[in-house]
Amino acid sequence: MMISDGTVIKIKDTSPPGHIRTPKYIRGKIGVVERCVGVFENPEQLAYALNANSYSLYRVRFKMTDLWSDYLKDSDDTLDAEVFEHWIEEI
């Protein structure tokens, strides 16, 4: 799976226990792929000294007003976070 820049995507809304690098505040939120930054080993496996799968890592841009209901109204401010492909749902 290769997602091209500018694609509108959704972050999976799930919260399994353990070491996760997808912060809660972006889970279930809609964002836009800003760019793919390469392929990296999955931290969810590295954290437990397991052999890790390699996954594409994307910088995803969110509108602040989509993340926080009480954010400055009509603001164009954004939040970028790095998200691994297995946390991304195409919509």
Q: Which residue lies nearer to other proteins by CB, 25 or 89?
A: 25
- CA atoms in the 13 A half-sphere facing the CB of 37: 13
Q: How far is the CB of 91 from other proteins (least distance, A)?
A: 21
Q: Which residue lies nearer to other proteins by CB, 7 or 61?
A: 61
Q: How far is the CB of 80 from other proteins (least distance, A)?
A: 5
φ and ψ of 6, to 5 deg? 90, -5
Q: Which residue lies nearer to other proteins by CB, 8 or 39?
A: 39
Q: In the chain, which residue ranges form alpha helices assigned H by DSSP?
A: 43-46, 64-67
Give contact residues for other proteins (rule: CB under 8 A). Answer: 15, 17-25, 37-38, 40, 43, 46-49, 57, 59, 64, 67-68, 71-72, 76-84
Q: How far is the CB of 51 from other proteins (least distance, A)?
A: 12
Contact 11, 27 (CB under 8 A): yes
C-alpha span between 86 and 72 (Å, rounded): 31
